[in-house]
Amino acid sequence: MDMMDISEIWEQLAWNQGGKIVYVILDGLGGLRDPHRGKTELQAARKPNLDEIAERSSCGLLEIVGPGITPGSGPGHLTLFGYHPLKYRIGRGILSALGIDFPLQPGDVAARVNFATLDGDRQITDRRAGRIATDLNRKLCRKIRENVRLDFEGEYFFETVSEHRAVLVLRGTGLSADLEDTDPQNTRMAPLDPQAKSAEAHVTAKLVRSFVESVERVLADERPANGILLRGFDRYQPLPSLYDRFKLRGVGVADYPMYRGVSRLLGMDVVAPPGGLKERFRVLENCYGDDYDFYFLHVKKTDREGEDGDFDGKVRFIEEVDLLLPHVMALEPDVLVITADHSTPAAMGRHSWHPVPVALLSRYIRTDDVFLFDEYACAGGSLGRRPGLDLMGLALANAGRLRKFGA
């Protein structure tokens, strides 16, 4: 996209001074009213701390990418960090590779892999191979690396992410990422053939086809993981960092690989996976100080419960997170933001396009009358309903990190 967006103006105005910003991102937090309860997950949850933050904050709704657009987690987060999602398009493959600390080199082509179960007719019966254990995943990856040889001027890497998730990286000359997914996102059909979307991708398509065939031969006797599905092919090009763009020294606190990957992609430091919700808040407290201006704490399970269609599970998890928020509030950051990268209503069981509630707390906000943190109450807040990209500008301004525009 060629057009100038407002985040480029923030770049020009950002300076290396001002306060600290903390983002607490509850993945997939936004919901829909359950038809029986008449409440969204947030409305059903007991969440005194979220409500207190809302009461002291400027609230609103963020339409993350745009009207009707259901964001993946990558674009969802990039948007919240001030990277225009139509301009910075990062494939799932690159995010997965970054998420496991894989040392990507410019030009590498990466794809996200699912181990899957295929039946005797090569029909997919389970797109996640029963969510195999990470240990089995490691064993299978090793077996593939030891037995699959690819005939090209370069090398490939095939690495475990977790459970059924892995990542394929191709490194060499003449590679293209302009390939269709082989994951049909459906069962009772065969994996799709790797199709080139443009002429220069034919060689890579052939290479991937031969890789998939070899893998299926090598895994022929394995159960339940006897096949692989590839999606999100992308070519790695380093992005300008949060510091390059907004003069923010950032740190990411997240357990889940992809969010660690996004953080790293934007030049944030990423702490070792804390290994649990409470620990994540403790780690945030520990790294809060002079080294960083921007803190990103990521919480995954709201999204997971939503995807599982588990309304009550999502409610319970919101309540768990709520109990931990005083740890963040006690830090008294100059700007505290609570929001989500997209909605994942339990009623739908998947990501959705619905705007997400946001609360922004700082000394300089126009407070409003919102005293509940949910999708309905926040609609009446002083931030109004606005594009997700706006958030970073508002956070930077409230932290005193943007100079005046013009004289």
Binding a copy of itself (rule: CB under 8 A), the pick from 11, 19, 70, 180 is 70
How far is Cα 15 from Cα 18, in angstroms, rounded to an integer?
8
How far is Cα 134 from Cα 282, in angstroms, rounded to an integer?
26
How far is Cα 353 from Cα 355, in angstroms, rounded to an integer?
6
Tally Cβ neighbours within 10 Å of residue 298. Answer: 23
How far is Cα 378 from Cα 59, in angstroms, rounded to an integer?
5
Q: Does the protein bind a copy of itself through residue 404 (CB under 8 A)?
A: yes
How far is Cα 402 from Cα 18, in angstroms, rounded to an integer?
8
**Alpha carbon separation from 197 to 127, 176, 205 (Å, rounded):** 24, 10, 9
Q: Does the protein bind a copy of itself through residue 75 (CB under 8 A)?
A: yes
Nearer to a copy of itself among residue 76 and residue 191 (C-beta): 76
Binding a copy of itself (rule: CB under 8 A), the pick from 104, 144, 351, 377 is 351
Query: Whole-number minimum distance, CB 135 to a copy of itself, in Å?
Result: 25
The one segment of 151-159, 168-176, 316-324, 375-383 that binds a copy of itself by CB under 8 A: 375-383
Q: Does the protein bind a copy of itself through residue 306 (CB under 8 A)?
A: no
Nearer to a copy of itself among residue 52 and residue 375 (C-beta): 375
Nearer to a copy of itself among residue 149 and residue 404 (C-beta): 404
Q: Does the protein bind a copy of itself through residue 252 (CB under 8 A)?
A: no
Q: Does the protein bind a copy of itself through residue 36 (CB under 8 A)?
A: no
| Alpha helices per DSSP H over 235-335 | 242-246, 257-265, 277-287, 301-307, 311-329
Angle at 56 between CA 53 and CA 57, to 5 degrees: 80
79, containing H or E segment:
helix 73-80
Q: Does the protein bind a copy of itself through residue 272 (CB under 8 A)?
A: no
Nearer to a copy of itself among residue 224 and residue 355 (C-beta): 355
Q: Does the protein bind a copy of itself through residue 99 (CB under 8 A)?
A: no
Binding a copy of itself (rule: CB under 8 A), the pick from 89, 142, 197, 217 is 89
Query: Whole-number minimum distance, CB 393 to a copy of itself, in Å?
Result: 3
How far is Cα 256 from Cα 244, in angstroms, rounded to an integer?
25
Binding a copy of itself (rule: CB under 8 A), the pick from 85, 191, 224, 227 is 85
How far is Cα 246 from Cα 267, in angstroms, rounded to an integer?
12
3-class SS letters over 27-59: CCEECCCCCCCCCCHHHHCCCHHHHHHHHHCEE
Nearer to a copy of itself among residue 172 and residue 384 (C-beta): 384
From residue 5 to residue 34, the character string flagging contacts with a copy of itself as x (rule: CB under 8 A) and all else as - is -x--xx--x------------------xx-
Q: 112-151: which residues touch a copy of itself (CB under 8 A)?
A: 112
Q: Does the protein bind a copy of itself through residue 2 (CB under 8 A)?
A: yes
Which amino acid type is present at position 160?
Answer: T
The one segment of 87-95, 237-245, 269-277, 313-321 that binds a copy of itself by CB under 8 A: 87-95
Query: Whole-number minimum distance, CB 88 to a copy of itself, in Å?
Result: 10
Q: Does the protein bind a copy of itself through residue 331 (CB under 8 A)?
A: no
Q: What is the dihedral of CA 229, 1, 385, 327, to 10 degrees?
A: 60
> 188: which 2 tokens?
């009772």
Residue closest to 374 by CA, chosen among 398, 346, 343? 343
Tally Cβ neighbours within 10 Å of residue 262. Answer: 31
Residues making contact with a copy of itself (CB under 8 A): 1-4, 6, 9-10, 13, 32-33, 65-75, 85-86, 89-92, 95, 112, 231-232, 345, 347-348, 350-354, 364, 366-368, 375-376, 379, 382, 384-386, 390-398, 402-407
